[in-house]
Amino acid sequence: MLTSEEWMVLGLSLRVGLVCVLLSLPAAVILGWVLARREFRGKVLLDGLCHLPLVLPPVVTGYVLLLLFSRRGVLGGFLEQTMGFQVAFTWKGAALASAAVAFPLALRAIRLAIEAVDPRLEHAARTLGAGRLRVFLTVTLRLAAPGLLAGALLAFARSLGEFGATITFVSNIAGETRTLPLAIFTYINRPGGDAAVARLAILSVILSFAALVAGEVVARRMRRT
């Protein structure tokens, strides 16, 4: 049904999406809690900084990543020297670009979910002898789980559609960084690529739709228990 190239593009897109979720979710949980529960000087600034990728042109996000993570960039050089880990122009870079762009979406969902947890439930848990971390894990996070799931889903879906930051940061390398949107873009620019574009577009619709339905099914199950 699918050509081997299409399988490759699909597999890469899924892999990038999953790693994007794994990268953005922990940071979104920690910062979501900080923004929901703590009051401190400069909170507005941190809030703004976290949401910047949401309003910034993705190309600019990609450019900033390029500055930071290219082999001569501050972080990129450090990663390569200490761990031999290269991000620029690899699929890991594509996941990182997705994560940067998807992070504010995940953060928003998780922050709202944590804000919706009655802080007095946390107080009750503490008077029962649970320390801060235990309360966070057994009460706050557990009750915010549907929001966590929504955040993960948003991040995954955003990653499936990521284009601008990715192509700026890691370019468009077949088999390495050519995810679904980039493949569609490639075929659009190629004479006679119409059929391939249509097939990939349908694939993209099915994938996004499946992600939404799966998320809704899990969310319903969570609400029931």
Q: Select from 38, 39, 45, 131 the one that contacts another protein (CB under 8 A).
A: 131
Q: Which is nearer to another protein, 97 or 125 (CB)?
A: 125
Evaluated on CA atoms 172, 173, 179, 184, the torsion sign reads positive
Evaluated on CA atoms 35, 156, 161, 221, the torsion sign reads negative
Minimum gap (Å) between residue 154 Cβ and another protein? 23
d(Cα 182, Cα 162) in Å, to the nearest integer? 9
Q: Select from 30, 74, 75, 124 the one that contacts another protein (CB under 8 A).
A: 124
Q: Which is nearer to another protein, 43 or 132 (CB)?
A: 132
The first and second tokens of residue 99, run together, are 């994560």
Does residue number 142 form part of the binding site for another protein (CB under 8 A)? yes
Does residue number 84 form part of the binding site for another protein (CB under 8 A)? no
Kindly state the number of chain residues that form the binding site for another protein, as judged by CB under 8 A: 19
Q: Select from 14, 18, 46, 143 the one that contacts another protein (CB under 8 A).
A: 143
Which helix (DSSP H) or strand (DSSP E) does residue 203 occupy?
Answer: helix 194-224
Evaluated on CA atoms 177, 178, 182, 186, the torsion sign reads positive
Q: Select from 4, 82, 127, 189 the one that contacts another protein (CB under 8 A).
A: 127
Q: Select from 15, 37, 51, 126 the one that contacts another protein (CB under 8 A).
A: 126
d(Cα 153, Cα 10) in Å, to the nearest integer? 17
d(Cα 111, Cα 154) in Å, to the nearest integer? 14
Minimum gap (Å) between residue 42 Cβ and another protein? 22
3-class DSSP state of 86 = coil
List contacts with another protein (CB under 8 A).
118, 120-121, 123-132, 134, 138-139, 142-143, 225
